[in-house]
Structure 1
Amino acid sequence: MTEDEAVDDELLTIGAFAARARLSAKALRLYDRLGLLPPAQVDEASGYRYYRAEQIERARLVALLRRLDMPLARIAEVVEAPDGATAADRLAAYWADVEVRMAEQRTLAEYLRGRLSGRSSQMYGKYEIETVDVPEQVVISETRHVLAGELPTWIEASLGRLEEAARGCGGVTAAPFVVYHADVSMESDGPAESCVPVADEAAARAWAEKHGRTREAKVSVLPAQRLAYTRITKAQVAHPQILAAFEAVEEWIAREGLEQAGPCREVYFADWEAARAQDPVCDVAFPVR
């Protein structure tokens, strides 16, 4: 008997199972090797694989999920879900991640097309630039040398620590922000400084005295200043497409005859986790005079 011949009503050879599942035997061997669809039985002597009819639905589901370019670990989460509702929720969560990534890639492609075609001025015209006067602020901060690939994780972690610390410093008084003291890219590591404005300067200085050495933490009193800024969406925050927003603000500052009065920053005013790809979440800003 060959591996493709029928066995009985209980077990199906890989050939018979492949025909009923509308998949190739090669695909089934791959799913077995990946741990997504192991055979019901493997003959010890011949190594032939045998499947049960009730595995057909799982085989078809795995094939469809792979067509979504779903990573193997996420496929396993879906097919091993305890019920259909949970499986559907896990698929929905994966697809939400895909849509965020696609929105980011769409924005990146648009940025690169503008760069390559020399349409920078046209691209900058999509950004609405405004100014805002910011009062004096007491700020607690962490500074770190970080590359672009590490930046999102560090921003989330550092702002989380600072917002927690702010509870003991009279509370947060304004939107947190990240200052770039030098270029942060795939080759340049800044440094960047995460900042949270707080109410109580004395408590902030006590906090900085305690934590300053471990995380390059400090407290600063920033003077009142004017910011030129543009508001961008969650999808536009990704590097390097966010550079277009910075460049648009820089061009506007020069055109208006203003002068940059400090390093650029990103001001995060929205709930990042709750925001969708096209929701405004961040102001890209420069101090000006």
Structure 2
Amino acid sequence: METDGLLTIGAFAARARLSAKALRLYDRMGLLPPAYVDEVNGYRYYRADQVERARLVALLRQLDMPLARIAEIVDVVELDGERAAERLAAYWAEAEERFASQRTLAAYLRGRLSGREPGMGGMDGTYGTFVVETVDTAPQVVLTQSRHTMVDELPAWIGASLGRLEEGAKACGGITGAPFVVYHSEVSMESDGPAESCVPVADLDAAKVWAAEQGPAWNTKVRVEPAGRLAYTRITKAQVAYPQIGAAFEAVERWIAERGLRITGPCREIYFTDWDTAGPEDPVCDVAFPVAS
């Protein structure tokens, strides 16, 4: 193939404002293959009309977008610019949610590391960046499903299990309170719980019948959650993400210890609003521990 009219990798890199090293990487990823590679010496050559694609890749990289996500955009942009724009919007929405969740964790850790946690031990209930309060709870009948799960599988399992239980609640007199998830042991990248999804319902006898009909597949049970007191802090949808949520659990634990209270049961997340319609900064969840004097 003649190379007349083609640009060497150095000339193309200068026009695209990219390094030759980046161009070789994008070639390996299939993002920006050269128009021609000399079989004898391996030199790469590019067409001038590839500059626009190269600059788009470079701009997307400035958003810290992974190369695989960039490929999803540049592969469709010439055929469907609107679709490419939607993919960019979806990525940026995810990034903003991640930044929002990390912001609280960073603020909490700054205060902890500096020893200047605002409001620590204050009478107003603040601890670091979290406001901790207590609430008395009444006994409630709950449908439950339990599973050993690692943290990367947890969000999908919570959504699926609570969905099954909320559907089952229709046969049990309806839902009578906010659904919640109890952690009987740590759920992390190294520990698999178990976790227990819970939905409060009205009719104990009907709940026993429904649970028995489910069989062992979902490990469905019924129990009565006793009356008690919870120490809790309210967090946003962004703050629920792992590992940021760990700061909220730790803040409540330290608040409890500072006041000489006892933790009497496993920690939990109580979801009091619709997850799907909530924005990153909307309060969605209480991180709570059962306590006693």
Shorter-chain TM-score category? 0.7 to 0.9
Partner Cα separation in structure 2 for residue 14 and residue 256 of structure 1: 67
Alignment pair present for 1:137 and 2:137: no
Deviations, residues 181-232 of structure 1 (Å, cap 9, x unaligned): 2344444443321111233434422332133522322111224444332211
Match of 1:112 among 109, 113, 123: 109
Q: Equivalent pairs: percent with the same residue?
A: 71
Partner Cα separation in structure 2 for residue 231 and residue 96 of structure 1: 23
Partner Cα separation in structure 1 for residue 112 and residue 226 of structure 2: 36
Equivalent residues in 2 for 1:1-150, closer than 5 Å: 7-8=4-5, 11-81=6-76, 82-119=79-116, 122=120, 124-150=127-153
Q: Which runs of 5+ in 2 are unaligned?
A: 121-125
Counterparts in 2 of 1:256 and 1:46: CA distance versus 1, 3 Å: closer
Q: Match of 2:74, as an amino acid? A: V
Partner Cα separation in structure 1 for residue 242 and residue 264 of structure 2: 24
Assess if the C-alpha contact under 8 Å between 2:102 and 2:244 holds in 1. no
Equivalent residues in 2 for 1:163-202, closer than 5 Å: 163-202=166-205
Q: Match of 1:160, as an amino acid? A: G
- Larger displacement relative to structure 2 (221-230 or 191-200): 221-230
Partner Cα separation in structure 1 for residue 263 and residue 229 of structure 2: 10
Partner Cα separation in structure 1 for residue 130 and residue 259 of structure 2: 15
Match of residue 217 from structure 1: 220
- Report the RMSD for the aligned CA atoms in angstroms: 3.1
Assess if the C-alpha contact under 8 Å between 1:124 and 1:244 holds in 2. no
Q: TM-score, normalised by structure 2?
A: 0.81
Alignment pair present for 1:233 and 2:223: no
Deviation of 1:243 after TM superposition, in Å, equals 3.8
Deviations, residues 240-286 of structure 1 (Å, cap 9, x unaligned): 44344334444555666765443321101233343333221101123
Q: Match of 1:33, as an amino acid? A: R
Q: Which runs of 5+ in 1 are unaligned?
A: none
Partner Cα separation in structure 2 for residue 153 and residue 279 of structure 1: 20
Counterparts in 2 of 1:50 and 1:252: CA distance versus 1, 3 Å: closer
Partner Cα separation in structure 2 for residue 12 and residue 240 of structure 1: 47
Q: TM-score, normalised by structure 1?
A: 0.82
Deviations, residues 21-43 of structure 1 (Å, cap 9, x unaligned): 23333322221111001223444
- Larger displacement relative to structure 2 (69-78 or 218-227): 218-227
Counterparts in 2 of 1:160 and 1:178: CA distance versus 1, 3 Å: same
More helix by share: 1
Give the number of aligned pairs. Answer: 284
Provide the secondary structure at the position in 2 that maps to 1:277: coil
